Chain A
Amino acid sequence: MQKLLVSIAIAATLGLGASAAYAGTLDDVKAKGFVQCGVNTGLPGFGNPDSTGKYTGFDVDYCRAVSAAVFGDPDKVKYTPLDGTERFPALQSGEVDLLVRNTTWTMSRDTTLGFTFAGVNYYDGEGFMVRKSLGVKTVKELAGATICVQGGTDTVTGLADYFKKNNLQYTPLVIDKLADVNSAYDAGRCDALTTDRSGLAANRLQMKNPDEHVVLDDIISQEPLGPVVRNNDVQWFQIVKWVSNALLDAEYLGVTQANVDEMKGSGDLAIQRLLGVGDNDFGKSIGLGKEWAYNVIKGVGNYGEVYDRNIGPNTPLGLQRGVNAQWNKGGIQYGIPIL
């Protein structure tokens, strides 16, 4: 029903809207006083409401970072929880200003949906979770199994590709809502659950008995996840893109939430440019204030801090940095310099 409404909303906005290129997301956001951010309906560590209904997580902190850059306050965000099939219509229709919801950057999404991806905040891959008692060690052993998967995701496609390539049979059970996928797997309706490996780590914690389940080592696809915006507003796209880069640059330069004030006095010219010290005013070119990046780091910390706080080794998810470490630490995360 909600989907139908959203689709009607799309039809209405597209049908009613005058046909000039639209470029006012920043002005709209400033006028209404908050960023409307599309997030997961409930994926611990990435986008999940806590017991008081407040959203927290890795993706949620990207929404907060954008809010900090625009308003100087990370909490001027309103969240729209979206499941796999609802997320794209919601962004197309303008129901959300920004979508940060474990969304894989693919060519078709980038070119045919009217979107553009603003970066990669997590390099991921599709994996599988099974019950330990099955004794399965690799995905190829899953021939003949029933596999639960969330509808409307590219995981569905990755799964079909892999089993076709390896000429294996399986029975898919495609369910729209993430919580329903999890509960079906947990009830033994499926032998395996597939999604991005980061998601599996989170889903495992939602099982009745997490220790009975194991995430297989195999990774069957590349899943670069990142924030998405509409492609009709270059300025808003630049804001989200450069907020993402600022988070990475800050970690690379050693600027943290704790030392950001102190770092304003740093003699490092790269840090001065990042924090808008002296006559550096990079915010102006994207319609923001001089201290946009300072506000981001003050508000949510740098990339490493956001990672460690939500999904890092010391959290229940316990995800190692791996490929998501900085390029000089053995990973492939690489901030574009502010210069």
Chain B
Amino acid sequence: MAVADAGRISSPHDRWYNNPTVRSIAVQVTLVVAVVATVWWFANNTVTNLRERGIASGFDFLGKRAGFDMTTFLDTTSQSTYGYMLLAGLFDTIVVAILSIVIASVLGLIVGIARLSSNWLIRTIATVYVEFFRNIPPLIVILFWYLGVLATLPNIKDAIQLGPDFSLSNRGIFMPRPIFGPNFHIVVIAFAVSLIIAWAVRRWAYARRMATGKGFPVGWTALGIIVVLTGGVFIATGDPLTFEIPVKTRFNINGGWTVSPEFASLFIALGVYTASFIAEIVRSGIMAVSHGQTEAARALGLHGGLVLRLVVLPQALRVIIPPLASEYLNITKNTSLAVAVGFADLVAVGNNVLNPTGQSIEVVAIWMAFYLGLSVIISLAMNWFNARIALTER
């Protein structure tokens, strides 16, 4: 209070309620009380009404047997609990989101660079791609892939053979499933060790180039180390990997790995749709780098690819990363469009939990909490990355 009043001339006519500090505290307290009271009033009314209407409430249902089957990535059966079913839905959502983010980033980067190409054909194709997918709602893009492309594939009886044991039909892509033998972990360890060696080589080569200016073929050496070491251990451990081959049965192709059309359409659609936005972000990022940088790099004798990789993209990334984060958030949230094609994501599973239990308020709360959690994780990761690549002020 002393600080707040420091500049004021004290007057006997000042009343305590005219004191700015008292006032501001009073306003804040009133606001907090009002907010808490409103929330409490809503919650209390809801609970009372639910009880009076005989509608079940609370989260006890999460531990009960679900009693329905859905095709999910995690192993679920009708014996699983509602809670586990929702986790399986969350897992499916995360898988689709991550894969879509990867494909959208790669595709978006390529298209974004292609839009600035000096080659007319490449530039035009990239522009058409961006304008096409950017202007169609994502739901339509999903339905386009699901109904327009994947559903028109031949029936399972006349599946297209892509190779031995690989087939493509309107039930999805069927392929052999790797089965890891008891010694497979040794191969994984060998792979990790080879990665560490490759990284060490890279560090050594970098230090030597800084010191002496001599180059070293890091890429090829690293590849060689990884292939020789991992491959050698793989052979030495004696066939640690076998395959489960998909087999045609009366109705289906069973066994092996299946990529369902529901998953494929969602993943491809979100990938190509969001790539069009990412392409624009990449393009604007590159254009934000002053042309002088390119000219200076050329003057130093760097060729086109190196100019892009060493000079332009690192600077462009600082412009690209913040809007890229919101595209990643969009992908994650758009996975909820899975309900349109029957992919068992968090929302689709939630719908089926919501129905037999009737606990819509709880299920909606779980949806919100899970999506909020995912979004926060993505935001934090992108903020960390952004801070890492930010221009270091000297």
Residues of A within 8 A of B (CB): 3-4, 6-8, 10-11, 14-19, 21, 84-85, 88-89, 92, 108-109, 111-114, 134, 142, 144-146, 151-154, 156-157, 159-161, 163-164, 170-177, 180, 183-184, 187-189, 191, 230-232
Contacts and interface: CB of A to CB of B under 8 A. Distances in A.
Given A157-B68, A174-B352, A187-B151, A144 B254 contact: yes
Contact of A156 (B46, B342, B352): B352
B283 interface: no
* Size category, B interface: 35 or more
B67 A161 contact: yes
Contacts of B147: 183
A17 B49 contact: yes
Given A144-B252, A152-B355, A157-B78, 8 more contacts: A14-B53, A112-B55, A146-B251, A151-B342, A156-B69, A174-B71, A177-B340, A183-B147
Contact of A230 (B53, B348, B357): B53
A112 B45 contact: no
Contacts of A189: 151, 170-171, 261
A122 B205 CA distance: 80
Given A144-B249, A146-B252, A114 B352 contact: no
Contacts of A231: 53-54
A13 to B, nearest CB: 8
B342 A176 contact: yes
Nearest to A16: B45
Given A112-B357, A172-B70, A173-B342, A160 B351 contact: no
B351 A152 contact: yes
A191 to B, nearest CB: 4
Nearest to A232: B53
A89 B363 CA distance: 12
Which of B147, B250, B342 counts the most A-chain CB atoms under 10 A from its CB?
A: B342
Contacts of A3: 351
Nearest to A109: B358
Given A114-B55, A180-B342, A89 B360 contact: yes
6 contacts: A6-B360, A88-B355, A92-B55, A174-B68, A180-B342, A232-B52
B251 A114 contact: no
A114 B67 contact: no
The 6 A-B residue pairs with the shortest CB-CB distance in the complex, in nearest-first order: A175-B342, A160-B78, A113-B358, A114-B55, A114-B53, A152-B355
